[in-house]
Amino acid sequence: VNNAGVLPKLYRIEEITEEEWNKIIGVNLTGVFFMCKAVARHMIERRRGKIVNISSIAGKEGGTVGVAYAASKAGVIGLTRALARELAPFNITVNAVAPGPVDTSALSDEIKRRGAELSPQGRIARPEEVAHAVIFLIENDHVNGEVININGGRYMD
């Protein structure tokens, strides 16, 4: 499970520096790529495996947290689907979850409040709700290349 990521302050395109862009893309997308590459080699040898990447609602809807974050998480979705197709012949599934805001200490009270206001359910996700989706993807052998939304109906596709 690839759950490393950085949630930066909100950068508008005219404000973000190249250094900040590279940091966000580096952690959120490049880090996921290299972790997948590292484990895929061993999974291919064993001819089985599961990879679950953590993306974000921002990767699907464009996000309200800035262009770099949205681009990095959209990249995780593209990477997930490409790897799912590439690794399927080796009995390896690659999927992702795309949560909206999750009630953790990493989020400010303001982001939690805004996230709850945007959700039709009127709240943000609990960590265990994300964990249950990850467990489903790990336990299922025939779901591959999918991205599960976990956002209370805020974004549906």
The DSSP letter of residue 126 is P
Identify whether 11 is a catalytic site residue: no
Catalytic residue among 2, 40, 69, 149: 69
Cα–Cα distance list, 128 to 66, 118, 134 (Å): 26, 20, 10
Half-sphere exposure of 43 (CA within 13 A, CB side): 21
Q: Are 66 and 11 in contact (CB under 8 A)?
A: yes
Residues designated as active site: 69
